[in-house]
Amino acid sequence: MNEETISLGELFSILKRSKWLISSLTILAAIIAFLVSSFIISPTYEASTQVLVAPKQSQNNMMVDTSQIQSSITLVNTYRVIIQSPAILEQVQENVVGAPENIGNLISVNSEQNSQVINITVQHTNPIIATDIANEISRVFSKEVPELMSVDNVKVLSSASVPMFPVKPNIVLNTAIAAVLGMMIGVAMAFLKVVLDRRIKTEQDVETILELPVLGSIPVIERVEMMQQRQAKAKGEEVHV
Helix (H) or strand (E) holding 157: strand 154-158
> Which pLDDT does position 66 carry in this prediction?
65
Q: Is residue 22 part of a domain?
A: yes
Q: What is the pLDDT of residue 64?
A: 53
pLDDT at 240 over 50: no
Q: How many residues does the chain have?
A: 241
Compare 3 and 77 and report the one with higher pLDDT. 77
- Are 66 and 142 within one domain? yes
| Structural domain count of the chain | 3
State whether 92 and 139 are in the same domain: yes
Q: 73 with 23, same domain?
A: no
Question: Of 153, 89, 144, whose CA–CA distance to 117 is shortest?
Answer: 153
Q: Please give the Cα distance from 37 to 177 (Å, whole number).
A: 12
Higher pLDDT, 109 or 69: 109
pLDDT tens digits for range 9-66: 778 888 888 899 999 999 999 999 999 999 999 999 999 999 998 765 544 554 555 6
Q: Domain range for residue 192?
A: 7-41+169-197
**pLDDT tens digit sequence for 169-220:** 999 999 999 999 999 999 999 988 877 876 766 666 666 666 667 666 666 6
Residue 227 inside a domain? The answer is yes
Answer whether residue 234 shows pLDDT above 80: no
What torsion do the CA atoms of 212, 218, 224, 230 make, to the nearest 10 degrees? -170
* pLDDT band of 77, cuts 50, 70, 90: confident
For residue 2, being part of any structural domain is answered with: no
With CA atoms as reference, report the closest residue to 90 among 140, 146, 32: 140
Does residue 23 sit in the same domain as residue 105?
A: no
Report the chain's mean pLDDT, rounded to a whole number: 83
Q: Are residues 235 and 150 in the same domain?
A: no
Whether 152 and 91 map to the same domain: the answer is yes
For residue 1, what pLDDT is reported? 39
**What does the DSSP 8-state code read for residue 118?**
E
Q: Give the ranges where the chain is alpha helix by DSSP (H).
A: 8-17, 19-35, 66-83, 86-95, 127-149, 171-196, 203-205, 223-240
Give the integer Cα–Cα distance in Å for 42 and 36. Answer: 10
Task: Please tell me the pTM assigned to this model.
Answer: 0.70
Q: In terms of domains, do 11 and 114 share one? A: no
Task: Determine what percent of the chain is predicted with pLDDT higher than 90.
Answer: 52
163 in any annotated domain: no
Q: Give residue 3's pLDDT.
A: 44
| Inter-helix orientation angle 66-83/127-149, to 10° | 120
Q: How far is CA 49 from CA 52, 118, 119, 156, 221, in A?
A: 10, 8, 6, 8, 77
Same domain for 110 and 72, yes or no, is yes
Q: What is the mean pLDDT of residues 226-237?
A: 70
Q: Is residue 187 part of a domain?
A: yes
Does 53 share its domain with 124? yes
- If asked whether residues 30 and 55 sit together in one domain, one would say no
Of 38-47, 82-91, 123-132, 203-212, where does mean pLDDT reach its minimum? 203-212
Integer Cα distance of 47 and 132 in angstroms: 9
180 and 218, same structural domain?
no
For residue 198, how far is the Cα from the chain centroid? Answer: 39
Same domain, 187 and 211: no
Residue 197: CA count within 13 A, CB half-sphere: 12
Q: Please say whether the dihedral angle defined by the alpha carbons of residues 72, 75, 76 and 79, taken in this order, is positive or negative.
A: negative
- Is 80 exceeded by the pLDDT of residue 128? yes
The strand order across the sheet containing 117-124 reads 107-110, 117-124, 45-53, 154-158
Higher per-residue confidence, 240 vs 119: 119
pLDDT at 220: 65
Which CATH number characterizes residue 118's domain? Answer: 3.30.70.1130
The answer to whether 208 touches 36, Cβ cutoff 8 Å, is no
Q: Is residue 121 part of a domain?
A: yes
